[in-house]
Amino acid sequence: MMIHHSSWPCFCIREWSRAFSELFDGEVPEGLGVFTPTQIDFPKQITFGKHVFINHNFTAMSIGGIEFGDNVQIGPHVTIVTDNHDLTNRYVLKCRKVVIGNNVWIGAGASIMPGVHVGDNAVIAGSAVVTKDVPVNTVVGGNPAKVIRQLNGAES
């Protein structure tokens, strides 16, 4: 696992890696890269595939669970939310898992809302607000996110 902070000496990176490993129940997958700062409220509710890269200023409100597939790239300032408040009783949280498929690229500043499933080989454009499932081999963007185009596989 790589945790990057430009001003850390080597021993500090090793200590941070151990602490991070503890937070995720010691299951750190091959090729996980995380740039700080990162905010994750319930790390034990997250599972990572292999070769997941998370850029700086990532926020995960993960009480409902987040599952990352293999080869996922997450741009800076991305937010994934798995909980929402009930509209009639705002003290009640409604939690829904977010699933990110394999070979997904999430652009800078994108937000993914509770219950969304992102299909394999999908691209989420920068600043998109994803409120519904993203089909495989598509590019989505906008607020709310809509399919911009289909990918034929040669692009991915």
Burial class for 118, CB neighbours closer than 10 Å (0-12, 13-18, 19+):
buried
* Pair of tokens at residue 10: 């080597």
* Pair of tokens at residue 83: 């909980």
Q: Catalytic pick from 5, 51, 77, 85? A: 85
Q: Is-contact 108 78, C-beta < 8 A?
A: yes
Which of left, alpha, beta for 65 (phi over 0: left; psi -120 to 50: alpha)? Answer: left
User: Does residue 5 carry a catalytic annotation?
Assistant: no
Q: How far is CA 134 from the centre of its chain?
A: 14
DSSP 12: H
Determine the length of the chain.
156
Q: Is-contact 104 121, C-beta < 8 A?
A: yes
The residues annotated as belonging to the active site are 85
